[in-house]
Structure 1
Amino acid sequence: MKAVFITGHGGNEVINVRECEYPQRRPGEALVRIEAGTLNQVDLYMRNSGAGITHQLPLIMGLDGAGVVEKIDADETRISVGQRVVVFPGMSCGRCEFCRRGDDVLCTGMKLMGEHCDGTFAQWISVPVENLFSMPKHLDFVQAAAMGVNYLTAWRMLFTRAQLKPWETVLVFGVGGGVSLAAMHLAKSIGARVVVTSREEGKLEKARNMGANETINSQTHDVAKAVMALTEGRGVDVVVENVGEAVWSSAMKSLVRGGRLVTCGATSGDQPPADLKRIFIRQLQIIGSTSGNSSEFKQLLAYAERHRIIPMIDSVFSLDDIHQALDRLESDGRMGKVGLALNPPK
């Protein structure tokens, strides 16, 4: 079988597609034929350096995946052979205090596929059965794979951490990115008023076509002032951001008194001015969030099926075209998920 390996750190030259042995299925695991995966910013980070993430090279890339179950234990009842499944990429210890209380995303021994251990960009993988969830019936394999990181991250940010309500207004920074696009999509699906930003007018137009209530070009407008104009001086209830330093001041100034800012990234820098006076005088809440737990993933998939949520797919590449897929992920014009087709049609 073929898989995508990181063999060093640098550029695309350290990413190779190579033949490798089929995975050995262990008791409690399922052998899955992976039909599709999608790329995430962490794939670029792992390629570039992987700094701060314990890993050994060579490493199979990929956090997202969807496919078909081919082998399981004879007495397994949770899934069945032939079932279409989505991979949950987090592998928790099941024993620490966070696992015991049901929030395995905070597990002290958490390992993520494609980061700490081999990932999903392989034609077959063997994973614990508890990491597999039934695919929403209305999605294809690429669309289903897209749920595993970006949509799960946005789900936890909006509904677990920020507790967004249908009558509230949310500001989403950088709507071209995967998490931001998912956050816009999910927030709009519950009826919230959604304001999005981007530096590119084309992405703002696409966001409006997808249902964004208002858009702000952050290249030509002061975001905080534009938000205040749109909300008659009130501000938004929730800010969703993963940019960090470059937008932090605007994000803080855009919040209503008592508002919540939820963040899951710092692509422009992780040391923004704290603006403590604004935080305590206006009683703002700054909330960190990363990925999601297995219970949230189950909730997300059920919600997606019930409400016919379909992730936006920018493009799909073959396994052998992983370099082009990574280039597309890095490109400014991308909007939506970059997919990877891992097994050709039979």
Structure 2
Amino acid sequence: MLLTDAAERFLGVQAVASVAHSNPFRSLFGDSPSPHTELAEWADLVVVVPATADFLAKMAHGVADDLGSTLLLAFDGPVVVAPAMHSAMWEAPATQRNVMTLVGDGVHFVGPAEGRLAGGDVGIGRLVDPLWVVEAVHYWLTPGAGPLDGLRITVSAGGTREPIDAVRYIGNRSSGRQGWALAQVAALAGASVRCVTTVDPPFRADLVEVLRVESAEQMLDAMRSAQEDSDVLIMSAAVADFRVAEPFAGKVKRAGKERLELSLVPNPDILVELVQHRKQPQVIVGFAAEVERLEESVANKLANKGVDLIVGNNVAEPGSEFGSVTNAVYLLDRLGRQRRIEMAPKTEIAASILAAIVALIEV
């Protein structure tokens, strides 16, 4: 860990040392004749957090007047920055020019987020939740990780809930974890991401636009609206095939009823609707949760739906069931390319799925 002069004054050396369990590097001048080059050769990745407007300006213009700035100038690996400043400073033309320069140099930004700022103001410039920084480090250290800068991606997540009455619904066991992993990883890679979801995110969704829905019809409306300005649509939600034809008003009482009969009607096929309204060269991705004959089911769905890529998984397989934190998937795209991705955390699965999407875009 390395502290700038400002960080030293703001946080204190001993406080940082106690958290890091080691003394932070602080100066160009000490026991080592070249601490900045030694650190640059040692590190696999450098994280700047929080990245102030001043430090971003130093990075963009190659200023090297302290240990942090000289280290970054000497380092040729991946760099992740998590900006934090007042919204007026973040939105200033000079800062935005510096950001564009750094993005062009290959620097990876995480945030900033919108929220409460120092002094009581509210706006963009807030430091993202630390989880985003940790996941960004993990992503950019993953072999094959690539940028998605400029892409607009909409992901659906969770299982739809079809009302029976005012308090009950028909649902499924989908947790939405894979959809949210896709949204998170896409945002870390630089895409502009929205998530149409029936479930709350498992983390603070600082970098994702969240659209909450309940039923399949609501999800269709939200996805069709999102389709207007999306480059990629990923339908990872588990959409109920049927809904109650006429949901009961109020709450159905059990008293006096030996049985309750429900009349079900088909829900709209969201994938088919999206394909019918595709805006070329929009990429549309579907999911197939199966319990047997996975490859056959995926091939049939790809042919019948007209999408660009199908992601299939066997939800009867231990570790790949609904609600798990891991997954194993089979990918098949419109060009006939197929790939099996073995059991891994859902964020790693998400990175592989996004890489397959990029391969389609680049065709």
TM-score by length of 1: 0.30
Pick 1 or 2: higher relative contact order, CA cutoff 8 A, min separation 6: 1
Bigger Rg, structure 1 or 2:
2
